[in-house]
Chains A and B, each alone.
Chain A
């Protein structure tokens, strides 16, 4: 059982607070993705779990073992690095077997595990090569095989796909998910790529400025972002934000369109609408079309609603010209509402 519990972890570099009171539980065999822009502290958090960085305060537990004071080698974790970190003076086989050799695993068992994991990552034909003779994708496979060969409780991955080209990244993403599901390890995966996060994760923790803003299932994040930051971060193109003013209890008006929403005692409210959650109509939000981008299955239309930019994904048959005035009818159930000062979701 490898439940990872992160309790009150904080990290400061000098006066800079990289992490502020992080609490997170990763369930056994769960695939957790830490998602955030660069500098949000996600890699620092991963390195603290790995034992490559020590926290300023707080505790890390794996199962019933407290590990934050242990050196990296005693934590039962494996790590896959962004730049692969393949040892250049060893062959692929020696790389995969390195950790096993250090753990004094008997030679026949070592050989068996090297071959098994090489086969799993489809690199069995490369075992005698050196890293200088491998492509980026192959190096990545070696790095994953090396981590898996340790049969760790927890596998940590720091942007492992970010150095691969787009096509290879798609391929490796699917493969990585399959391999990790079979291996029964708990995984923590750091990325700044929201598509990667959504497609791989059982749960995603969105981080911003050293804090975990929301940790939830991918579709939950997408549908019910807890804060305005998550709403703007998840989804491409991002959500549209508009400010509506209070008319009567629970009704909000924007550009003469009245929408029913939560009842809070504020003069205004921030509402967020996904581009795909509107349709063309005879009435609704008045919009002036600025740009029409045909994307094949649909049109991405950039408009002005009042003085705000508003993107809509519309049916590709829609006859829309730039400069045209249209009306967009939002799907009221899909609108998310945020408090105008705290930027937290209100219902």
Chain B
């Protein structure tokens, strides 16, 4: 009896310790990044390190005025918006089909969706770059967003699939008997119900594109996205610029992912909390 109580306690201790460790693993670097981004260049370079943010915006302002940064930011947003549109326009119909129709090879199709993520991008980068140069898609926001769409599409399909599965078929059938064709039933009944989830799926696609660095670095030269731009410039840049750049990249991604977290859980079939 005492033994089991003791082992229960130690399991609980292990459990809490793991959680603390995992949180520290993720939050520690983020905290240091924030502290340094919000400190003046002088503070960053001094030793020992400062652990309390000064809320000095000098580094960030310097970064904002850095030559080419603004263009890169606009490129990043443009590519991410394209990716978002393509992922939803292609992913949502596929998700609907998976949720509502039985067809031959449905299970295989679902596996293949995930398999697309198994190809390492560097393997595809060279042939892609050659192909893009041949077709004139290289160095364009549109071309890059196509690559990003292939990365985001599996998630868009799986998220929308779970959304459509969550809407009872009877609601749609009721709409049909009440004078709707398939499109009107979708427009007036299904869409309003899944719109929050679609938004989340779109934001997730946006973040995937926003964070992607490899394809961006290979496929753009003049019109770099922010990630590619920072990769190119930061290894030679002073420390405070690195921190500011990293901060600017991380913050939108974290905010967005935090906002849509419950739909990402839904994608893997875990109930919404």
**Chain A residues engaging chain B, CB cutoff 8 angstroms:** 50-52, 71-73, 77-79, 81-83, 85, 87-89, 98-99, 102-103, 146, 150
Contact = CB atoms under 8 A, between A and B. Distances in A.
A102 B179 contact: yes
A81 B173 contact: yes
A73 B178 contact: yes
Query: DSSP majority for the A interface?
Result: loop
A79 B174 contact: yes
Contact of B174 (A81, A89, A103): A81
24 contacts: A51-B176, A51-B177, A52-B173, A52-B177, A71-B181, A72-B173, A72-B176, A73-B176, A73-B177, A73-B181, A77-B177, A79-B177, A81-B170, A81-B173, A83-B168, A89-B192, A89-B193, A98-B178, A99-B178, A99-B179, A102-B178, A102-B180, A103-B179, A146-B178
Contacts of B112: none
Nearest to A78: B177
B171 A85 contact: yes
B49 interface: no
Given A83-B170, A85-B170, A71 B192 contact: no
A73 B177 CA distance: 5
Query: DSSP majority for the B interface?
Result: helix
A72 B184 CA distance: 13
Given A81-B170, A87-B171, A150 B176 contact: no
Nearest to B176: A72
Interface residues of B, number: 17
A101 to B, nearest CB: 9
B181 A87 contact: no
Contacts of B193: 88-89
A97 B213 CA distance: 52
B177 A50 contact: yes
A53 B149 CA distance: 36
B176 A52 contact: yes
Nearest to B170: A85
B253 interface: no
Nearest to B195: A89
A77 B181 CA distance: 15
Given A87-B189, A102-B184, A71 B170 contact: no
- Which of B176, B179, B193 has the most chain A CB atoms closer than 10 A to its own CB? B179
A98 B171 CA distance: 12
Contacts of A85: 168, 170-171, 173-174
Interface in B192-236: 192-193
A72 B177 contact: yes
Contacts of B188: 98, 102
A22 B178 CA distance: 26
Nearest to B172: A85
